[in-house]
């Protein structure tokens, strides 16, 4: 309840006419606080029988997904609906993309409907920036190749704060295939913005230098408040690249098993999981796991992001929640 | 080796600052050109009813030579033609260019080469030399008929766009090339290290999630080719050097007496991989933009003569190819029409590079490497001259380009120093 009062003048969004959420690097700490506060206020609205808010009535939000997705596409669609926006999800399979249409032409075609927001997932780095340049819509990056997945990082912060009561000073061990992970890139940057720290743990060739401290020793997760497990992204690895000799060897050295999780540690995973590879099913289903909470956070955080891009500031949050 | 028009202009260029570093010339004088040849240099020259160009405040220098231009002909005439590419070169102050053979079809046989030279005879705005491939289809396995290609007028040999993957083939190419007297130019890339690479392997690529193209991917191959040049006693030219380690290898090899040379591009001399954060496909090139340390090493090498040529690696791409997300875009940027302006603005004006060194590396340097006549300001020399207004400030706009392609990393930039007049082989080929 007191959260709404946290939203003060210093948390006003920048005055640009058309804002996007392309990368965590576009955000300040104050932006993150504003978005998380907004999400928290939406959490309350989601406890009512009537979960729908009228805030974005008449707005059009297009979800354009060039890569498979369960959590992200469903939560963006639902987030738009809960805010009363018109929404439509376009998947690459079964659209003109199948017929060789370029991203530029698809973007221009969809622009003809004057969407307020385009939510884009695409396998290539820079796709969201490209659509932001090519159209007049606000663009939310729902994942571009190995680059960024900013709403995932925001929902992860929300999940951590709800479960652990704070973000500042938290220490998060991100374990596994960091090299191919847009989630890890966004999360490391987001943790830095809120005063938390990260260590990257995994096989040497999968830990890019310079993002955060690294360790190839799984024991390095011991100090962490949160163990954040990444999927081995075999679909993004070039054949014959030899990042690890085998998945069996990966699991033996870096798999998150009950024995490796310390009492009091919480475990997260952005999904989809490969149970038995990077995470043991007993860990995924344990009380330490926040994996289901992450999915729940996804809805309200994405509501907050859409709301934030389409309204002028935090004052309306109270009224929005109030009207419902 | 060069094909293209020549002329017999009669002009007097009055009052320019004449700068020819190799001739030791830096003086404000008039130049009289009779029948396309420099006839007189002095003060208050007779006009002899020649056309008079008032060049007060202008620099008149030997025109430039670009040894690394992708003319995209044959095969991709929508991106560049001999006519448009040589017109772009003329506008950039060039009097001659060398074209790269990675076309479709590849220039790997004398018939294709003869066809291109015949077209250039009709179409070229300035003299152009055509390089031929080193291996058939540029696939790195079987040598082209280098003797026949040289006889048909190949200006040099290169598989540019690709490396010669195996040391054995490269060694045979160098050995055999002893019969041609032409240069072998190499694109140094160890592909097992660069596969999947879209940007320099460093902090920027790590943060952006782009596959890394490491410095070692170039410098390993540079070391190999320098050793092979040393072993065979044959010369080798290293194209578009980008990494500090490559420069160090070249410097050591030159000191050891290896017959080698190198070139650097304006984009590697002016930009670093920080530019890639924009995810603008027009800063994606091969080799990639590297760190500030690498950039400074290239500038040092240009200064001390380790690298003696500036080459644009002008690589036109159609909008369909470049108007895509960064990761999907092909490598390559255009450069012919902005090279002097950007290097003058970013390196000469701030005092990083002297005007004389820049002029030498854009003209006499590349001429010497490829055995071309050196453009010079001297009595009796054919007029190959470029007139530059060092005070002119201009904005790079799509409409300024003669090139058919617009994939310039400088679109929108303000530059100082503009080419106003180019004379190539005694003919005025560009005038602003």
pLDDT digits (tens, 9 = 90+) for B145-164: 999 999 999 999 999 999 99
Q: What is the ipTM of this complex?
A: 0.86
CATH of the domain at B233: 3.20.20.140
| pTM for this prediction | 0.91
Q: A231 and A126: one domain? A: no
Q: Does A121 share its domain with A189?
A: no
Counted domains in chain B: 2
- The verdict on A182 touching B (C-beta cutoff 8 Å) is yes
Same domain, B286 and B416: no
A143 in a structural domain: yes
- Please check whether residue A83 lies inside any domain of the structure: yes
Q: In angstroms, rounded to a whole number, what is the distance separating the alpha carbons of residues A171 and A165?
A: 13
Contact A300, A75 (CB under 8 A): no
B222: pLDDT strictly greater than 60: yes
Q: Do A14 and A82 lie in a common domain?
A: yes
Which pLDDT belongs to residue A191? Answer: 98
In chain B, % of residues over pLDDT 90? 99
In 3D space, the residue among A131, A142, A12, A165 whose CA is nearest the CA of residue A73 turns out to be: A142
Residues B275 and B135 in one domain: yes
Answer whether residue A65 is part of any domain.
Answer: yes
Same domain? A67 vs A112: yes
Nearest by CB: B210 against A122, A125, A210 = A125
pLDDT band at residue A320 using 50, 70 and 90 as cut-offs: very low
Cross-chain residue pair B208–A125, CB shorter than 8 Å? yes
Residue (of B400, B405, B101, B98) closest to B281 by Cα position = B405
User: pLDDT at position A3, please?
Assistant: 34
Residues B169, B34, single domain; the answer is no
pLDDT (average), residues B28-51: 95
My answer on whether A137 and A12 are in the same domain is yes
Query: Do both B264 and B400 map to the same domain?
Result: no
A200 to chain B nearest CA, in Å?
Answer: 13
The two most distant CA atoms of chain B are separated, in Å, by 66
Q: In this model, does residue A14 exceed pLDDT 60? A: no
Indicate yes or no: CB of A129 within 8 angstroms of CB of B210.
no
| Helices and strands, counts by H and E, chain B | 14, 19
Mean per-residue pLDDT over chain B, rounded: 97
The partner residue sitting opposite B209, judged by closest CB among A104, A147, A241, is A147
Tokens for A109, please give them.
């075609």
pLDDT tier at A17, thresholds 50, 70, 90: low
Query: Cβ–Cβ of B206/A208 closer than 8 Å?
Result: yes
Q: Which of A122, A124, A238 minimises the CB distance to B195? A: A238
Q: Is residue A324 part of a domain?
A: no
Is A179 a domain residue? yes
Compute the distance between CA of residue B371 and CA of residue B259 in angstroms, rounded to an integer: 14
Chain segment A126-175, per-residue pLDDT in tens: 999 999 999 999 999 999 999 999 999 999 999 999 999 999 999 999 99
Same domain, B243 and B368: yes
Pairwise CB contact (< 8 Å): A126 & B326: yes
d(CA A289, CA B16): 78
Query: How far away is chain A from the Cα of B215, in angstroms, using its nearest Cα?
Result: 15
pLDDT in tens, B377-391: 999 999 999 999 999
- The Cα of B408 is separated from the nearest Cα of chain A by a number of Å equal to 17
Question: B189: number of CA atoms within 13 Å, CB side?
Answer: 20
Best A130, A131, A153 residue to mutate vs chain B (most B CBs within 10 Å) = A130
Q: Are residues B301 and B291 in the same domain?
A: yes
Q: Are B289 and B368 within one domain?
A: yes
Cβ-Cβ contacts under 8 Å, A144 against chain B: 325
The per-residue pLDDT for range B308-337, each reduced to its tens digit, is 999 999 999 999 999 999 999 999 999 999
Q: Does A82 touch chain B (CB under 8 A)?
A: no
CB–CB contacts below 8 A, A to B:
67
pLDDT in tens, B186-218: 999 999 999 999 999 999 999 999 999 999 999
Mark yes or no for CB contact B325/A241 under 8 Å.
Answer: no
Domain of residue A166, residue span: 150-295
- Judging contacts by C-beta atoms under 8 Å, the chain B residues touching residue A211 are 206-207
> What value does the mean pLDDT take over residues B292-311?
98
Given the DSSP bridges, would you call strands B11-20 and B25-34 parallel, antiparallel or unpaired?
antiparallel
Domain containing B414 equals 2-58+387-431
* Same domain as A303, residue A291: no
Give the helix ranges, DSSP H, for chain A.
3-6, 29-45, 71-82, 103-111, 127-134, 150-164, 182-193, 247-254, 281-284, 291-310, 315-323
Name the phi and psi angles at A92, rounded to 5: -60, -40
Please tell me which of the candidates A124, A146, A182 has its beta carbon nearest to residue B325: A124
Cβ burial of A167 (10 Å; 0-12, 13-18, 19+) is buried
Closest residue to B324, CB basis, from A102, A146, A209 = A102
Question: What residues form DSSP beta bridges with A117?
Answer: A61, A138
The CATH number linked to A29 is 3.40.50.1370
Measured between CA atoms, the residue of chain A closest to residue B206 is A208
Query: Which residues lie across from B427 on neighbouring strands?
Result: B424
CA dihedral B147, B152, B158, B160 (to 10 degrees): -150
Cβ contact B184:B235 at 8 Å:
yes
Q: Does A311 touch chain B (CB under 8 A)?
A: no
The pLDDT of residue A312: 61
Q: A234 CB near a chain B CB, below 8 Å? A: no
Q: How far is A113 from chain B (nearest CA, A)?
A: 21
**Which among A111, A148, A151 has a CA at the least distance from the CA of A131?**
A111
* Tokens found for residue B68: 């690394």
A280 and A158 in a common domain: yes
Q: Are residues B328 and B419 in the same domain?
A: no
Note whether A22 and A138 are same-domain residues.
Answer: yes
- B223 and B186 in one domain? yes
Question: What are the residues of chain B with a beta carbon less than 8 Å away from any beta carbon of chain A?
Answer: 195-196, 198, 202-203, 205-210, 278-279, 281, 320, 323-328
Q: Which residues pair with B185 in a beta bridge?
A: B158, B237
Same domain, A250 and A186: yes
A154 with A144, same domain: the answer is no
A211 contacts chain B (CB < 8 A): yes
- The pLDDT confidence band at residue A98, using thresholds 50, 70 and 90, is low
Q: Is residue A110 in a domain?
A: yes
The separation between the first and the last C-alpha atoms of chain B, rounded to the nearest angstrom, is 29
- Subunit contact A130:B325, Cβ cutoff 8 A: yes
pLDDT at B132: 98
A53 plus A101 within the same structural domain: yes
Q: Cα separation of B77 and B34, whole Å?
A: 36
Task: For residue A284, tell me if it sits in a domain.
Answer: yes
Q: Is residue A28 part of a domain?
A: yes
Residue range A174-203: mean pLDDT, rounded: 97
Instruction: State yes or no: pLDDT of A7 exceeds 80.
Output: no
The per-residue pLDDT for A324 is: 34
**Predicted pLDDT of residue A238:** 73
Structure confidence at residue A69 as a pLDDT band (50, 70, 90): confident
> What angle, rounded to 10 degrees, do the helices at B244-255 and B292-304 form?
30
What residues of A act catalytically?
71-72, 99, 121, 149
Domain count, chain A: 2
CA distance A189 to A25: 7
Q: Are residues A241 and A303 in the same domain?
A: no
Distance CA A89, CA A98 (A): 16
Q: How far apart are CA A188 and CA A183, in angstroms?
A: 9
CA distance A237 to A180: 8
Residue B120: Cβ-neighbour burial (10 angstroms; 0-12, 13-18, 19+) = buried
């Amino acid at each position: 309840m007191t959260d709404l009062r946290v939203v003060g003048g210093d948390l006003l969004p920048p005055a640009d006419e058309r804002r996007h959420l392309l990368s965590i690097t576009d955000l300040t700490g104050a932006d993150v606080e504003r978005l998380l506060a907004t999400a928290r206020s939406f959490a309350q609205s989601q406890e009512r029988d009537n979960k729908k808010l009228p805030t974005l009535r008449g707005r059009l939000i297009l979800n354009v997904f060039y890569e498979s997705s369960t959590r992200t596409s469903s939560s963006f669609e639902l987030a738009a609906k809960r805010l009363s926006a018109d929404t439509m999800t376009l998947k690459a399979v079964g659209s003109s993309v199948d017929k060789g249409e370029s991203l530029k032409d698809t973007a221009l075609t969809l622009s003809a409907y004057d969407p307020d927001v385009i939510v884009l997932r695409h396998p290539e780095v820079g796709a969201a920036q490209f659509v932001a340049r090519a159209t007049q819509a606000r663009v939310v990056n729902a994942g571009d190749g190995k680059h960024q997945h900013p709403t995932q990082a925001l929902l992860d912060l929300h999940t951590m704060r709800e479960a652990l009561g704070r973000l500042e000073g938290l220490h998060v061990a991100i374990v596994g295939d960091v090299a191919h992970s847009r989630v890890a890139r966004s999360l490391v940057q987001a943790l830095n913005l809120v005063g938390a720290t990260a260590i990257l743990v995994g096989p040497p060739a999968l830990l890019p230098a310079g993002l955060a401290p690294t360790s190839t020793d799984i024991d390095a997760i011991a100090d962490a408040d949160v163990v954040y497990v990444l999927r081995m992204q075999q679909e993004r690895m070039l054949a014959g690249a030899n990042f690890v000799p085998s998945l069996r060897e990966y699991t033996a050295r870096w798999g998150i098993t009950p024995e490796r999780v310390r009492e009091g540690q919480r475990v997260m995973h952005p999904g989809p999981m490969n149970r038995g590879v990077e995470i043991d099913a007993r860990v995924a289903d344990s009380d330490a796991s926040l994996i289901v909470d992450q999915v729940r956070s996804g809805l309200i955080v994405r509501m907050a992001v859409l709301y934030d891009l389409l309204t002028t500031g935090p004052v309306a949050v109270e009224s929005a929640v109030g009207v419902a | 080796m060069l094909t293209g028009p020549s002329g017999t202009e009669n002009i007097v260029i009055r009052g320019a600052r004449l700068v020819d570093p190799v001739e030791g010339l830096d003086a404000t004088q008039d130049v009289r050109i009779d029948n396309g040849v420099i006839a007189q240099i002095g003060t208050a020259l007779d006009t002899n009813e020649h056309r008079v160009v008032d060049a007060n405040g202008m620099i008149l220098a030997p025109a430039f030579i670009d040894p690394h231009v992708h003319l995209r002909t044959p095969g991709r005439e929508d991106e560049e033609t001999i006519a448009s590419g040589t017109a772009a070169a003329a506008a950039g102050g060039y009097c001659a260019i060398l074209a790269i053979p990675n076309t479709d079809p590849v220039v790997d046989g004398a018939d294709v080469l003869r066809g291109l030279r015949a077209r250039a005879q009709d179409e070229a705005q300035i003299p152009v030399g055509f390089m031929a491939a080193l291996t058939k289809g540029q696939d790195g396995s079987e040598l082209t008929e280098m003797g026949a290609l040289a006889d048909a007028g190949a200006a040099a040999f290169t598989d540019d766009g690709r490396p010669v993957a195996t040391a054995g083939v490269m060694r045979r190419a160098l050995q055999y090339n002893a019969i041609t007297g032409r240069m072998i130019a190499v694109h140094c890339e160890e592909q097992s290290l660069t596969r999947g690479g879209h940007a320099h392997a460093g902090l920027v690529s790590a943060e952006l999630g782009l596959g890394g193209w490491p410095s070692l991917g170039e410098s390993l191959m540079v070391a190999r080719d320098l050793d092979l040049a040393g072993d065979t006693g044959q010369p080798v030219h290293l194209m578009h050097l980008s990494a500090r380690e490559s420069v160090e290898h070249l410097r050591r090899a030159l000191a050891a007496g290896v017959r080698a040379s190198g070139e650097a591009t304006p984009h590697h001399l002016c930009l670093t991989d920080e530019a890639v954060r924009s995810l603008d496909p027009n800063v994606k090139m091969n080799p990639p933009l590297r760190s500030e340390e690498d950039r400074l090493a290239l500038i040092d090498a240009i200064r001390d003569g380790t690298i003696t040529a500036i080459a644009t690696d002008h690589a036109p791409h159609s909008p369909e190819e470049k108007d895509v997300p960064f990761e999907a875009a092909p490598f390559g940027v255009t450069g012919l029409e902005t090279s002097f302006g950007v290097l003058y603005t970013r390196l000469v004006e701030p005092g990083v590079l002297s005007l004389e060194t820049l002029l030498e590396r854009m003209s006499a340097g590349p001429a010497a490497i490829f055995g071309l006549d050196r453009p010079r300001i001297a009595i009796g020399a054919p007029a190959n001259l470029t007139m530059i207004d060092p005070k002119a400030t201009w904005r790079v706009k799509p409409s300024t380009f003669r090139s058919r392609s617009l994939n310039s990393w400088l679109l929108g930039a303000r530059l100082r120093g503009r080419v106003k007049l180019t004379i190539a082989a005694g003919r005025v080929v560009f005038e602003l």
